[in-house]
Amino acid sequence: MTAVSARRWTAEGCYRGPLPKGGFEATVPGVALSFESQRCQFPDHGASGIAYVRGELGGGRHVDVLLHRDDAGRVAGILYHYPFDMPPHEHKGACNVLVDPKSRRRGIASALLRVAGPRFDLALVGQHLSPAGAAWLNRFVAHKRV
């Protein structure tokens, strides 16, 4: 098997990796991070679309961040990818997706995951999921699976 065929994502952002039997289930009782608590870490305005930001943590560690900005340039969605273990909260390969409550049901989370999946070869199994996150991820893989 070549390295390309072993990847969990296609270049187009469709997932072809393993899935849990019975679908994804919530592993955390509620929302751990609020969108507003995270949005305030980024400039109020920027170019619309999805952009990468490297969040430096010090000690040679970083967090990969994808920001989705709306047509007015405001942050409407955030995806964090953790390339390092960050105990006790995140493990290597984990990701968080946050969408402005006023901008939900517009495909923002899907767009972020379609970009992040192939870029970081995200493993969907083993993620910490809220009830809403598990339900959304089950819908996503049902439509974006190869």
pLDDT tens digit string along 78-106? 999 999 888 877 888 889 899 999 988 89
Average pLDDT over residues 21-36: 82
Token pair for 61: 């560690």
Q: Which of 54, 135, 60, 127 is nearest to 95 (CA)?
A: 127
Number of domains within the chain: 1
Q: Which of 31, 5, 41, 17 is nearest to 93 (CA)?
A: 17
Average pLDDT over residues 24-45: 83
Q: Which of 118, 113, 110, 124 is nearest to 10 (CA)?
A: 118
Domain that holds residue 65: 3-143
Question: Would you say residue 111 has pLDDT above 70?
Answer: yes
Question: Would you say residue 76 has pLDDT above 90?
Answer: yes
State the pLDDT at residue 78: 95
pTM, full prediction: 0.86
- 31 band by pLDDT with thresholds 50, 70 and 90: low
In the sheet with 49-58, reading across from the earlier edge strand, the strands are 49-58, 61-69, 75-81, 95-99
Mean pLDDT of the chain: 86
Contact status, residue 142 vs residue 23, Cβ threshold 8 Å:
no
State the pLDDT at residue 145: 62
Question: Would you say residue 2 has pLDDT above 50?
Answer: no
State the pLDDT at residue 4: 41
d(CA 110, CA 131): 17
Q: Which of 32, 49, 47 is nearest to 88 (CA)?
A: 32
Q: Which of 124, 142, 133 is nearest to 33 (CA)?
A: 133
d(CA 36, CA 123): 26
State the pLDDT at residue 60: 87
Q: Which of 53, 56, 81 is nearest to 67 (CA)?
A: 53
